[in-house]
Homo-oligomer: A and B are copies of this chain.
Amino acid sequence: MTNASIITIGDELLIGQVIDTNSALIAQQMNNAGFVVTRRVAVGDDYEAIETALSEEKKHSDIILITGGLGPTADDITKPLLCKYFGGKMIVNDVVLENITAIFKAIKKQLTSRNIKQAEVPDVCTVLPNKIGTAPGMVFYETINKTEKVFISMPGVPQEMKGIMVDEVIPLLQAKYKTTKIEHRTLLCADVGESTLADILSDFEEKLPLTIKLAYLPNYSMVRLRLTEIDALKSNIGNYFIALQNIVKEYLVTTEDESMEQVLGKLLKVKGKTMCTAESCTGGYIAHLITSIAGSSSFYDGSVISYSYQAKEDLVHVNNITLIEKGAVSEDVVKEMAAGVLKNIHSDYAIAVSGIMGPDGGLPDKPVGTVWICVGSKNNLKAHKFRFRYDRELNIKLTATNALNMLRKFILDEED
């Protein structure tokens, strides 16, 4: 089994200013290609810390993937360091220079000496072309106790790194190493807590063979369950996955690794129906989730975000008297919002939400986290009250998930 380590470099990772999405992206690519990532290490823009990480990770793994040093400036530290670490000297690489020249020609900008310096790479590395950026990938080899270790350095800009991973790194590694057979099966549950699921599944878990692991991934009032089988001679993950689906069937949203909005989108497409939204407290987040799906225009018509009272009246025709008597966060208002948006946008289904996301705006009878959600069609609207107990960001996300799930269940119930 070939192990891999990921080293990400950047002070910003250690002060928490940015979230490390690169590691997840690399890990995903490696896993899909059949390589096991066993460690991820983040260190700052510091010679000693980077050297220590290189020396430690080569003890743990045969493949060491390095990313970070974002762009032309941070390269100043990583590239010379790798050059020194592997005992090379910096030389201009013609292929890299050609690529940089072409990029600057395309965007009609003059090359600066800083850009030309980017074409310098250690003479002990193999260059991996970067199709969309100026910084190339670099491969170094070192043999330790007769085992060859491969070190691959990539730029930190996510799109560039991803391109080099997919086009260059994965094919290179697959040609060089025997890959491990890693099988995942994932399903999504809603309307159930993790500890309830764990109780329901304790017998199932105990009977799992050693080659199969069950993982719980709670996420915004949903729980994803994942079965993983590593390097089994004869795979039987399929049967266990069917058994798992049966046990959790009353909470089951999907048996694919997809999001709630993707599930809802597929359902609408299959039925040839469309939907729209009227959002208050979620401020466009539900619409954003749906429209993040490529091709969502085939089932999503649009939304009205009525943040102010006035917008609620003007855009979705909520009755002024309802607003005053019941308040913006009430069953009557979300129902009027849903009816109003269905009248404005001629969709088959609507979601409407109104709530208090915090930190301010709570009332004695409507504390922060109180949300009314309405889903339905022209002739049938269903509303439900929720109470979330977190911060603004999480309350928005929980509201969105629950609203999408309510509409999903509403459509499924219509079938019965």
Contacts and interface: CB of A to CB of B under 8 A. Distances in A.
Contact of A302 (B70, B307, B344): B307
Given A16-B24, A41-B42, A279-B287, 9 more contacts: A12-B215, A13-B40, A15-B184, A16-B23, A56-B56, A283-B287, A294-B359, A302-B305, A303-B305
Interface stretch (A144-152, A234-242, A308-316): A308-316
Interface in A52-70: 52-53, 56, 60, 70
A184 B310 CA distance: 42
9 contacts: A14-B36, A16-B37, A45-B215, A73-B194, A283-B300, A284-B284, A285-B288, A296-B307, A304-B305
A405 to B, nearest CB: 18
Given A286-B284, A290-B283, A391 B159 contact: yes
A302 B17 CA distance: 30
A302 B303 CA distance: 10
Assembly stoichiometry (copies): 2
A352 interface: no
A301 interface: yes
A213 interface: yes
A391 B287 CA distance: 19
B315 A307 contact: no
Interface stretch (A27-35, A119-127, A371-379): A27-35
B393 A199 contact: no
Interface of A: 11-21, 23-31, 36-46, 49, 52-53, 56, 60, 70-74, 112, 114-115, 132, 157, 159, 184, 194-195, 198-199, 202, 213, 215-219, 224, 226, 228, 257, 276-277, 279, 282-288, 290-292, 294-297, 300-308, 310-311, 314-315, 344-346, 358-360, 389-394, 396
B302 A297 contact: no
A96 to B, nearest CB: 15
A113 to B, nearest CB: 9
Would you call the interface of chain A mostly helix, strand, loop, or mixed? mixed
B315 A344 contact: yes
Contact of A311 (B14, B45, B228, B302): B302
A400 B393 CA distance: 19
A16 B29 contact: yes
A170 B45 CA distance: 25
B39 A49 contact: yes
The 8 closest A-B pairs by CB, nearest first: A283-B291, A284-B287, A16-B28, A284-B284, A16-B27, A302-B311, A303-B305, A40-B42
A195 B114 contact: yes
Contact of A310 (B226, B283, B301): B301
Nearest to A31: B15
Given A16-B29, A217-B17, A284-B287, A112 B199 contact: yes
A14 B360 CA distance: 38
Nearest to A106: B389
Given A21-B19, A43-B38, A301 B295 contact: no
Given A215-B12, A297-B307, A315-B345, A39 B28 contact: no
A148 to B, nearest CB: 22
A379 to B, nearest CB: 20
